[in-house]
Amino acid sequence: MTKKFAISGQHYLFDVQSFAALVLALGGDDYEYALRDRTTKRVIEDVADGESEIGVLVETTRSKDGLEKAFDEAGVEFVELIESTPRVALPKSHPFVNAESLTLDQLEDFPYIYFEQEEDAPVYFAEEALADEHRRKSIACTDRASLSELIVALNGYTVTSGILVGISDGSSLATVSLDTDVTLHLGYIVKKGAELSDTARKFVEKLEGNLKKCAKF
Q: What angle do CA 181, 183, 186 make, to 5 degrees?
A: 170
Q: Is the pLDDT of residue 123 over 90?
A: yes
Walk across the sheet containing 158-160 and list its strands: 101-102, 173-178, 87-91, 158-160
pLDDT tier, 216 (very low <50, low <70, confident <90, very high otherwise)? low
Provide the pLDDT for residue 162: 65
Tally the C-alpha atoms within 13 A of residue 161's C-alpha that lie toward its C-beta.
Answer: 27
DSSP H or E segment with residue 159: strand 158-160
Provide the pLDDT for residue 168: 47
Residues 161-199: pLDDT tens digits?
A: 866 544 444 568 889 999 999 999 999 999 999 999 999
- Residues found in the chain: 217
pLDDT tier, 97 (very low <50, low <70, confident <90, very high otherwise)? very high
Sorted by where each starts, the structural domains of the chain and their CATH numbers stand as 3-83+183-214 (3.40.190.10), 84-178 (3.40.190.10)
Instruction: Please choose, from the candidates 133, 166, 151, the residue with its C-alpha nearest in 3D space to the C-alpha of residue 37.
Output: 166
pLDDT tier, 215 (very low <50, low <70, confident <90, very high otherwise)? low
Query: Over the chain, what is the mean pLDDT?
Result: 91
Provide the pLDDT for residue 69: 97
